[in-house]
Amino acid sequence: MPEPKTSRDEEIKQLVVARLETIPPDKKISIGGEGDFTIEELIDRVKKNDEVGQKIIEVQMKFLQSLKTESFLDE
């Protein structure tokens, strides 16, 4: 699987992992057609930077950006 290209990519992965660690470990998250994942599985996928991990990073970053711009309030 592709590895992070920069230290910024690594910092983003660490941020996403930290956010995932705040979710109760007994919860599962559904990722579209990919299925249900435990928090531990998602953390592992983010660290491996596989397709599911990249999707989680993308979703988390969009969420954080929406908080920054307050665009989530527009809906």
DSSP letter string, 10-75: HHHHHHHHHHHTTS-TT-EEEEGGGEEEEHHHHHHHHHHT-HHHHHHHHHHHHHHHHHHHTGGGG-
Which pLDDT score is estimated for 75? 56
Q: How high is the mean pLDDT of the chain?
A: 89
Domain residue spans in the chain?
7-70
Which pLDDT score is estimated for 29? 93
Q: What is the CA radius of gyration of the chain?
A: 13
- Tens digits of residue pLDDT in 34-70: 999 999 999 999 999 999 999 999 999 999 988 888 7
